[in-house]
Amino acid sequence: MQNLPQRRASPWLSRRDEDAMAKLWVKFQRSFRRRPVRFFTLLALYLAAGSLVFLHAGFTGEPRVAGSQRSPGAGEGLGLPYLGGTRLSRGFPEVAVGRRRGHWFKGMAKEPAERSRAGEYGAVRSRAPKGRGSREKEEDRARYIGCYVDNTRSRTLRGVSFFDYKKMTVFRCQDNCAERGYLYAGLEFGAECYCGHKVQAPNASESECNMECKGERSSTCGGANRLSIYRLELAQESARRYGSAIFRGCFRQPDNVTIALPASQPMPNMSVDKCVDFCTEKEFPLSVLAGTVCHCGFPTTLFPLHEREDEQLCAQRCAGEEFESCGTTEFLLVYQTQVQDNRCMDRRFLPTRSKQLVALASFPGAGNTWARHLIELATGFYTGSYYFDGSLYNKGFKGERDHWRSGRTICIKTHESGQKEIEAFDAAILLIRNPYKALMAEFNRKYGGHIGFAAHAHWRGKEWPEFVANYAPWWATHTLDWLRFGRKVLVVHFEDLKQDLFKQLKRMVGLLGIAACEDRLLCVEGQKDGNFKRSGLRKLEYDPYTPEMRKMISGYIRTVDAALKLRNLSGVPDDYYPR
């Protein structure tokens, strides 16, 4: 048998190379024998890395589903009715929160929603359904009022108009009319936008306003000679600007105009700009036009600006500007100048330690920062916080640095909802907001800051559905916990505070033990937005909530509504329920 040549052990390495590798390995082993510290250090790092991976896997598991298990927050203590299998747990493991540095404000730690994954979602962009439902989306910028007849001889909205036969959307029309100071925006033929201060036409059938918008086929933009009209909520006050002034409305002349409006000047060639400039120079926040006389002053109990009149009563042409109205001697047109009303701007810490701790409690995104701004202006005292937020401290909330038990602040902001945390307070103002808007506001805060906005990539990515899955149950349990464990709880709905600030703020100040000064509250009305409110004009052009999300959130709304009524309180506002 023929002897075959013996194959080498390695076709790539020579004998010399193999000896060199063996020597290197022996040297490596000897190094660790001589210096065992190195070995144990690397071993410790390896074990630590493995532990972190294990913990991360625990946080990223599927959220717990309570199924038909009864939620203690929904059915115990207060005798709250059990409403089916509605899950009220947050959907993520409980995380201990430091009393001075909450995880959702510190920024250095991950949010619970980031640590808890509710599963992968595909495309999350949910287009609003066609027809009336999409026009009645719950948005701050506008409210749909109906379909109206329109024709070229007698326009329904007689302000400016513009057309865009490629990219017209409901949002674009509303935005352009609001920026020009109009009260109404209407769309026609799917591409035409009309603005106006008054609707002057009969109603038409809703089925006649069924043309798709050229730039957004999921929405409708009127019909043939039919206008889909929206009332611009922002335009009622802050959007109607003339130069540097803000339009406040038409009001009846007060009984004693010389006392209510201390400064005045006859102006034969009256115009809005002339009166506004005069009052600005005199350093008054209100500019009041009465025909050919310009008055200046402050909002007071003699002239509170609470009862508006029809603007047509003030529609008398200005002597110095034929396209403007300057009011009459009986009905006055009021503008707010850029002069700051300083009657409610002074703030300080409490002179003596407070005997009670009052919580300003809310779910994140429910307007807590805005409410703090209002309370500080109305009382003249700083508000505190259960957490510490350096950005808010830098913007004027000086109570942020005080410990929440210091007793130097008039109330303490908190988002906590545990029994131990709630029972630490002697009283509470419980601020509740529509969950659809609260969730979006908190999502914007999380990804865009206190007055910023989340990027569209976050809304369309997996972050938004995971956020809703984790935070929507918390919206319900937060309210249920405070109703169950709180002592002396005053419930305030964000929507009521926004609509009737004077009345609701007076209730809040009363709970804080401060005698409400009505002139100071009127001052707050003129400074109510401050620097802590997002611009209302930047909105999503689509509905981010899927039908499954809405079904889940509606169950939580019904639970909270029942809990409020069980305590003989008014239930949630009607607009909490999707239309």
Q: Give the model confidence (pLDDT) of 305-342 as tens digits.
A: 999 999 899 999 999 888 889 999 999 999 998 887 88
pTM over 0.75: no
Better-predicted residue by pLDDT, 349 or 527: 349
Longest dimension (CA), the chain: 131
Instruction: Give the DSSP per-residue string, 227-284.
Output: EEEEEETGGGTTS-EETTEEEEEEEEPPSSHHHHS-EEEE-TT--HHHHHHHHHHTT-
* pLDDT score of 109 more than 50: no
Better-predicted residue by pLDDT, 110 or 565: 565
Q: What is the pLDDT of residue 355?
A: 86
Residue ranges of the domains in the chain?
142-232, 241-336, 358-576
CA distances from 8 to 2, 4, 11, 352 (A): 19, 12, 6, 92
For strands 331-336 and 384-385, give the pairing: unpaired
* pLDDT score of 21 more than 80: no
Of 166-170, 416-420, 537-541, the poorest mean pLDDT is in: 537-541
* pLDDT score of 406 more than 90: yes
Angle value at C-alpha 139, between 133 and 143, nearest 5 degrees: 65
Instruction: Give the pLDDT mean for 425-442.
Output: 93
Angle between helices 518-526 and 501-511 (to 10 degrees): 130
Sheet of strand 192-196, all strands in order from the earlier edge strand to the far edge: 142-149, 226-232, 184-188, 192-196, 161-163
What is the spatial distance between Cα 414 and Cα 409, in angstroms, rounded to a whole number?
A: 13
What is the spatial distance between Cα 343 and Cα 377, in angstroms, rounded to a whole number?
A: 9
Segment 293-315, tens digit of pLDDT: 999 999 999 999 999 999 899 99
Cα–Cα nearest to 141, from 112, 110, 183, 189:
183
Give the pLDDT band (50/70/90) at residue 159: low
* pLDDT score of 70 more than 80: no
Q: Which CATH superfamily is domain 358-576 in?
A: P-loop containing nucleotide triphosphate hydrolases (3.40.50.300)
Q: What is the pLDDT of residue 533?
A: 57
* pLDDT score of 135 more than 60: no
Instruction: Give the pLDDT mean for 4-31.
Output: 60
Give the pLDDT band (50/70/90) at residue 47: confident
Give the pLDDT band (50/70/90) at residue 166: confident
Of 210-224, 226-240, 244-258, 459-473, the poorest mean pLDDT is in: 226-240
Per the prediction, the chain carries an average pLDDT of 78
Q: What is the pLDDT of residue 526?
A: 84
Q: What is the pLDDT of residue 28?
A: 66
* pLDDT score of 91 more than 90: no
**With contact defined as beta carbons under 8 Å apart, do 250 and 310 qualify?**
yes
DSSP 323: T
Give the pLDDT band (50/70/90) at residue 202: confident
Segment 250-304, tens digit of pLDDT: 999 999 899 999 999 999 999 999 999 999 888 899 999 999 999 999 999 999 9
Give the pLDDT band (50/70/90) at residue 426: very high
* pLDDT score of 43 more than 70: yes
Q: What is the pLDDT of residue 65?
A: 32
Q: What is the pLDDT of residue 530?
A: 65
Q: What is the pLDDT of residue 165?
A: 73
Burial zone of 226 (CB within 10 Å; 0-12 exposed, 13-18 middle, 19+ buried): buried
CA distances from 226 to 190, 202, 285, 335, 515 (A): 10, 10, 41, 34, 53
